Structure 1
Amino acid sequence: MGSPISTPEQGRFERRALEVLAHPRMQAAVAELHDYWLDMIKPQPEMRASFDSKYPEVVFGAIIWSLNTDKERPAVVTISRIPHQLEGLEIPGSRWGLDNPDSVYRVIPIDGSERYVIRGRVPNPRLTENYFTLWTDKMATVDVLDGKSLHLDADGRFEIFVDSDEKGNRLDHVRSAPEAKEFYIRDVIMDWANERVNELSIERLGAPPKSPERTMDQQVDDAIAMLRLNIDNTARWNRQALDKPVNAFDFTIDRDTDGALRNQIYVMGHFQLADDEALVVDVGLGGADYFLAPITNQWGTTNDIQNRTASLNLNQSVRNGDDTLTYVVSRADPGVHNWIDPCDMPEGILTLRWAEFVTGRPGEGFGAKGRVVKLANLKNELPAETKWVSPAERADQLKVRAASYAWRVAE
């Protein structure tokens, strides 16, 4: 299989996004919304310092996504990527919205009154989790297809028919509706080194497009509107954690609206730590086959997910020997394998994710609890079976991590 991410179609959209970014009106809006966001958040100094590297990603994320909203000319575009190169061009990252480092997010615009067919091929091994979510302009789910249920031919290929009709005798079908706006496709990778995402393409059936392609001015307008919307949404989502007690996990998201995935459960919390403190997070899996603990900042992006343990999933973590895990968050490396690195930040947001429950719903022991301890007392606060690592072992862990992520940004 070739790269299912760095496709010619992806490259075409990324080049156009650079052109939109350079447009004078886009640059003026970027400057205006820069001040708007900072005035809204009024961040602490360290969080303010991180804004200078994170805001450009949110900007580019809005542009690349807004370019793929033409329902008469749908494409498959990957969003929420880290910075990378494209034939010598420096392509900014496009992360935003509390992104999941395990997920490759792709979007496809559709019109609820038209017909489409999504074609693709699955890799071997199959993905841990893969959902084709069709949603409205308010991010409410119209229909969702579990990728594990796809019917494959001998080469692993599939076809998904998309329309407002009954499924009939078609093997794979997503039922559309007038309010449907786009597909939001999550390919979730738990084994970064060995799992790959599905190949995907989209075909609109029926008559040729009736409307002309958007002009540059229209594309700039759409990008500005999406950037403002994404800023406001990020601030609103973060408040779900920031308005709760610090260093605790008191807000559970279990819904199929507002961008949340119907088949996942999210528990949010925010942390704020002194240099000599650590947040110990005790997690009960409750029978989940998928779990992720990622840190995001107040700008809605993850930090250095490739080169540092800024997130850990079930495959990257060491269990306690039962259906539980224990993580440590601290600015200084505590020497624990399950260290979620805040990348030099004293504060951040954790959006814990569980999915793929054996019985379909969380079982006994599900949940998360946070407690702040002094780093000097950490060994006394952790389970006896905790895996500790030396500096050399940490370096090896990070080397393997970086290499296992690299294929996602390879040309």
Structure 2
Amino acid sequence: MDRRDVLKSAALSGLVGSLLAPSLQAVAADNPDSEAAAALKELQKAINELEAAFSSPEWKLRTRQDFAEARRVLLHVLMHGLQCWLEADPSRPFFTPFINQHKKMLGDNPDARYFSAVINDQHSYRISGNLAGATYTSFTLELGADTSGDGIGSTLNDTEFKADEHGNYEIIVSAVEQDGNWLPMTQGASSITSRHYYERENSINNDRLHHIPIDIECLQTTAPRVSPNDSDIAEGIQRVTTFVRGNVITMNAKNSPSWVSRIPNQFTPPIKDDSHTSITYAARDNVYSMAPFVLGPDQALVIRGRFPTCRFSNVVLFNRFLQTLDYEERTVSLNRAQTVLEDDGSFSMIIAHKDPGRPNWLDTEGRPYGIVFWRFQLPKGDIQPLVTEVISLA
């Protein structure tokens, strides 16, 4: 199409708009407060309430940077809500990437890709995909669109389903047991999350060319889709509002799991239990340990320990909103393939504002405080406690 055709099309669209304007005005006059308009106001209200909450004592935000990052995480959660929940139809599901270098929330991971699809427990589904060289692959049913939901339901990992010699697989998600790869449908399931972990020297999320084939389809036949009406669009906006309200959160003593340390620069012993299964978007196969770091300008935190026998493990630095620091241009995480071990197989990692001139440096970006987060996946035996020491680099 050349420039003249484009101009003609633009002129025609303007003409159509002029011709339709009187009838549209009449409709608007008869229905000034549509469901979609009310839902959009509710979303705006939720955003305004969160903005006001950032100044409350519960959030404990103190600096200009704290408030800026609070607004950033709000927008990242809103971004995923719009991408995943706005157009969601459980009878026509689709997988949406949960996180990437520029969409971070809920404890994202440089060494993993996550996908999310909206479903419901009244349907059955077929998931098709390829392992794509992953260290670990799993699927988890989520029982709520927000963190106030009922946690997680059924989980199926790659030790429990079969793939062919090329890594291809199919999984049926249904309430009735199926032959072959079967993920039992949990009552109340509202979405499904896939996890694809990699232990590589180059974190998988810095490999933009790596593709993980994955798809999902509903096994029930449905009538052809019709154009979304006012109610349909309102329901989509309401789902986005629910997701935003449930996932822009602050951690406090009341909602912190047992594996979260309240003491800066010290970890609680990693314990294998089911405490995180009540948390929506948690991973059943992981054991976690988390602690805040607080460091002066010339201080560093040394962490000594030993990786257990497990499928995957890494340590990641977060800001206070559980967003990874900049892993594109800095080393803010280390998996086992990236960690330099001592002669006895143990490790010594160092969290510092500047290069300490020794292996296993985790870069704070100069932040005086943040979060250190450990994952140990399907560990065998006990996990050795993490020993910490604050040292001076002056």
Please give the TM-score of this superposition, normalised by the length of structure 1: 0.73
Cα pair distance change 1:239/1:164, threshold 3 Å: closer
Cα pair distance change 1:197/1:321, threshold 3 Å: farther
Alignment equivalent of 1:202, drawn from 209, 216, 227: 216
How far apart in 2 are the matches of 1:312 and 1:158?
A: 30
Cα pair distance change 1:283/1:336, threshold 3 Å: same
How far apart in 1 are the matches of 2:260 and 2:278?
A: 20
Cα pair distance change 1:24/1:307, threshold 3 Å: farther
How far apart in 2 are the matches of 1:33 and 1:345?
A: 24
Matching residue of 1:115: 124
How far apart in 2 are the matches of 1:249 and 1:280?
A: 12
Cα pair distance change 1:114/1:55, threshold 3 Å: closer
> Are 1:63 and 2:72 an aligned pair?
no
Pairwise CA distance, 1:107: 1.0
Matching residue of 1:309: 331
> Are 1:127 and 2:134 an aligned pair?
yes
Alignment equivalent of 2:351, drawn from 326, 329, 332: 329
> Are 1:232 and 2:241 an aligned pair?
no
Q: Deviations over 1:41-80 (max 9, x none)?
A: 1223243454454443233233333236431221111112
Pairwise CA distance, 1:290: 1.9
Pairwise CA distance, 1:117: 0.7
Q: Judge conservation of contact 1:280–1:373 (CA < 8 Å) in 2.
A: yes
Cα pair distance change 1:136/1:50, threshold 3 Å: closer
Alignment equivalent of 2:114, drawn from 83, 94, 105: 105
Matching residue of 2:240: 223
Range with greater deviation from structure 2 (316-325 or 245-254): 245-254
User: What letter matches 1:248 in structure 2?
Assistant: Q
Alignment equivalent of 2:381, drawn from 338, 359, 362: 362
Pairwise CA distance, 1:31: 4.0
Matching residue of 1:96: 105
Cα pair distance change 1:31/1:251, threshold 3 Å: farther
How far apart in 1 are the matches of 2:340 and 2:121?
A: 45
How far apart in 2 are the matches of 1:234 and 1:76?
A: 28
Matching residue of 1:338: 360
Rg (Cα) greater in structure: 2
> Are 1:74 and 2:93 an aligned pair?
yes
Cα pair distance change 1:49/1:331, threshold 3 Å: farther
Pairwise CA distance, 1:81: 1.8
Structure 2's unaligned 5+ residue stretches are: 1-36, 205-209
How far apart in 2 are the matches of 1:50 and 1:140?
A: 26
Alignment equivalent of 1:147, drawn from 155, 158, 182: 158
Structure 1's unaligned 5+ residue stretches are: 1-19, 84-92, 377-411
Q: Judge conservation of contact 2:313–2:375 (CA < 8 Å) in 1.
A: yes
Alignment equivalent of 2:268, drawn from 250, 257, 273: 250
Cα pair distance change 1:217/1:113, threshold 3 Å: closer
User: What letter matches 1:314 in structure 2?
Assistant: R
> Are 1:177 and 2:183 an aligned pair?
no
How far apart in 2 are the matches of 1:249 and 1:165?
A: 43
Identity %: 23
Cα pair distance change 1:192/1:200, threshold 3 Å: farther
How far apart in 2 are the matches of 1:283 and 1:321?
A: 13
Range with greater deviation from structure 2 (47-56 or 131-140): 47-56
Q: Judge conservation of contact 2:269–2:385 (CA < 8 Å) in 1.
A: no
Pairwise CA distance, 1:194: 8.9
Q: Judge conservation of contact 1:112–1:178 (CA < 8 Å) in 2.
A: yes
Cα pair distance change 1:238/1:209, threshold 3 Å: farther
Q: Secondary structure at the match of 1:288?
A: coil
